[in-house]
Amino acid sequence: MSSGSVAIFEEGPREGFQSEPPGIPTSQKIRLIEALAATGLSEINCCSFVDAARVPQMADAETIMAQLHRLPNVRYTGLWLNLKGFQRARASGADMKAVLVASASETFGLRNNNKTRAQLIDSQRALGSAYKDAGIDRVAGYVFTAFGCNYEGAIPVSNVTRSVQDLMTLGEECDLSFETMVLCDTIGVASPNGIARVIDAVRDRWPELDVALHLHDTRGMGMANALVGLQLGIRRFDASVAGLGGCPFAGNTAAAGNICTEDLVYLCHEEGFETGIDLSKLIACGLMAEEIVGRRLPGKIKDVRSL
């Protein structure tokens, strides 16, 4: 008997390839995106509309969006962090998934966005106004380093709820509502107890919020953390095909990629949840991702099923 459905948002083509050395051919990125779309995934984050001088891996964002052959009922999204990036994404034809971000760690915000917490929220205010002017009234909130930071160490839960409050206040100012609030284990430091503690604190304060998880697997706890999330009623997760990726702004910490999409789908199916995703096709995508980057990637199920 089904335990319900889980939505999984694919991050590999964006966060994964962004963490690889520059030079992956655009045609190979598109090949993987189109294969992922055929698995039943409902949303694929394809690229970042960011400064190519800082992130040269994403210099082909517009080309990717122009050349994709799209399937109906799949959202082909991109990431942006400022007004210029948003304008580029709109012009490219990317499906709009409007995002507002905050960082629970002041230091990580400075390293990742070159802004203090207050400056980051101020910069998001212009984005919020631009969203409203563009006819967008629902956004996703992302709280970076919600479970710990490689620069500051443990992050107090009060810092996380403060960041959520910052975003909620900004949403009210711009007349925007939140379709989801994504709590990010940006460098992969979370444990199951920490996951539960932060989720409970956010839900106690905002019981109406749809909370999601963006988990990294740096310390091998990613699937354990995802299971706790499922047990606590989380039904939206970000994941990366084959575990591709990392965090390029994690300093000396070798932050691993998002939890592996195939492994998460396997977990969900084994626990009785529906995902709408064909696991066999997804495993083939994991093997394709390995072929593209030219090395073995950390996902587990693709290796078991390919023997």
For 89-114, the DSSP string reads HHHHT-B---EEEEESSHHHHHHHHS
Residue 251 has what pLDDT? 44
**pTM for the full model?**
0.94
Give catalytic residue positions: 247
pLDDT tens digit sequence for 12-39: 999 999 989 999 999 999 999 999 999 9
pLDDT tens digit sequence for 219-230: 999 999 999 999
Question: Rounded to the nearest 10 degrees, what angle do helices 222-231 and 261-270 cross at?
Answer: 40
- For the chain, domains (ranges, CATH) are 4-305 (3.20.20.70)
